[in-house]
């Protein structure tokens, strides 16, 4: 075979080899594509695994958690409402200050204007000439010293006027800032309401997943727990009442007010007469003995004096969680009376059932 034929033969063999390799690669890619389809498409077509059904006990705990979260949000709501109440009172005072300063500026403007007008009218005559042309010489002489004094103090008067204007502008700005802050607080109320409603909706969904028998189990368990707590709390309260009541006794009387509300339902932002949240109950209880408290667990913690856990007396305010979101009245022997959460009623409970945050004695 000559040289040209050998080259042609090798070229043909190379072409065939290249074609075979290309076919192998295409086949391999096809297999990979099939494999990827199997790996990524097929599992996606499988039905999602269903959540395991809750037992009645698990559902009860989940519902309790969601309702407790909602109650904590309610206390944030109450705290913001108190801030709005205080802010409106401060704004009212500032608006009164603005009005008073406005009146002051108006009076000063009139006085400065009168001085300027007098100087303008007399600017072309010296004192001797004015004396010559004034028909009532005696009256002019009696007033000349006053006019000269005003002239001497004109710069001071103008400076006072300008300062008064600046003070007015500062007061107006402060009032506008407070008004804007109140508008933001109002928006917070809406957000907190939505957040609490969301928690309660989730609790209802948990309950809706249960059978009728399971729902009845939860209701019966709640009744038994409340009955046990109230029985233990009543016994503890009676035992504590037999001992000497220190101080004025207002704490014991505040506790008596709370006892009268036992069994009444929890109500969002409730402060009586027939539904309560935790701080609404404590506020009214201490209000019944002449002590004013804000409608907010967090804010109530700044009232009165701090009390050690070992020194608690009847009616002392006992606070829970961090940040503080719950409050009750001490009832003796480690028990409190409180308005617990949505779906529950005013009841006794052991302090140990919640994370203790501190205690205060109002009044």
> What DSSP state is assigned to residue 270?
-
Helices (H), the chain: 3-36, 56-121, 127-133, 137-152, 154-208, 212-242, 250-259, 278-287, 297-300
Contact 36, 43 (CB under 8 A): no
Tell me how crowded residue 216 is: count the other CB atoms within 10 A of its CB: 12
Q: Could you list the active site residues?
A: 278, 326, 338
- What does each C-alpha distance from 334 to 31, 236, 240, 326, 353 come to in angstroms? 72, 8, 10, 16, 10
For residue 295, the SS3 value is coil
Lookup: tokens for 174: 């402060």
Lookup: tokens for 182: 């109140």
Contact 174, 94 (CB under 8 A): yes
């Amino acid at each position: 075979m000559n040289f040209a034929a050998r080259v042609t033969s090798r070229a043909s063999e190379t072409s065939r080899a290249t074609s075979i390799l290309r076919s192998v690669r295409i086949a391999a890619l096809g297999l990979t594509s099939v494999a990827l389809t199997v790996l990524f498409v097929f599992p996606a077509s499988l039905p999602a695994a269903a959540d395991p059904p809750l037992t009645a006990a698990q559902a009860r705990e989940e519902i309790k958690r969601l309702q407790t979260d909602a109650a904590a949000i309610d206390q944030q709501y109450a705290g913001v409402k108190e801030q709005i109440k205080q802010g409106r009172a401060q704004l009212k005072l500032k608006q009164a200050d603005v009005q008073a300063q406005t009146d002051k500026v108006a009076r000063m403007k009139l006085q400065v204007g009168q001085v300027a007008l007098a100087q303008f009218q007399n600017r072309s005559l010296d004192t001797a000439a004015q004396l010559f042309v004034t028909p009532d010489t005696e009256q002019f002489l009696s007033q000349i010293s006053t006019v000269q004094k005003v002239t001497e103090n004109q710069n001071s008067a103008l400076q006072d006027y300008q300062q008064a204007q600046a003070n007015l502008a500062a007061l107006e700005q402060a009032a506008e800032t407070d008004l804007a802050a109140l508008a933001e607080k109002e928006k917070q109320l809406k957000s907190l309401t939505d957040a609490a409603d969301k928690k309660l909706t989730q609790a209802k969904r948990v309950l809706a997943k249960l059978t009728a028998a399971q729902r009845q189990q939860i209701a019966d368990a709640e009744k038994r727990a409340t009955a046990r707590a109230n029985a233990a709390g009543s016994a503890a309260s009676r035992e504590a009442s037999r001992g000497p009541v220190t101080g004025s006794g207002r704490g014991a009387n505040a506790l008596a007010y709370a006892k009268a509300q036992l069994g009444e339902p929890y109500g969002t932002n409730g402060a009586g007469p027939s539904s309560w949240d935790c701080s609404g109950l404590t506020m009214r209880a201490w209000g019944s003995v002449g002590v004013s408290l804000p409608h907010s667990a967090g804010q109530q913690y700044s009232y009165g004096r701090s009390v050690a856990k070992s020194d608690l007396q009847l009616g002392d305010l006992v606070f829970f969680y961090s940040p503080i979101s719950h409050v009750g009245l001490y009832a003796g022997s480690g028990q409190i009376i409180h308005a617990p959460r949505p779906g529950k009623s005013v009841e006794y409970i052991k302090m140990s059932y919640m994370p203790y945050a501190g205690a205060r004695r109002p009044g």
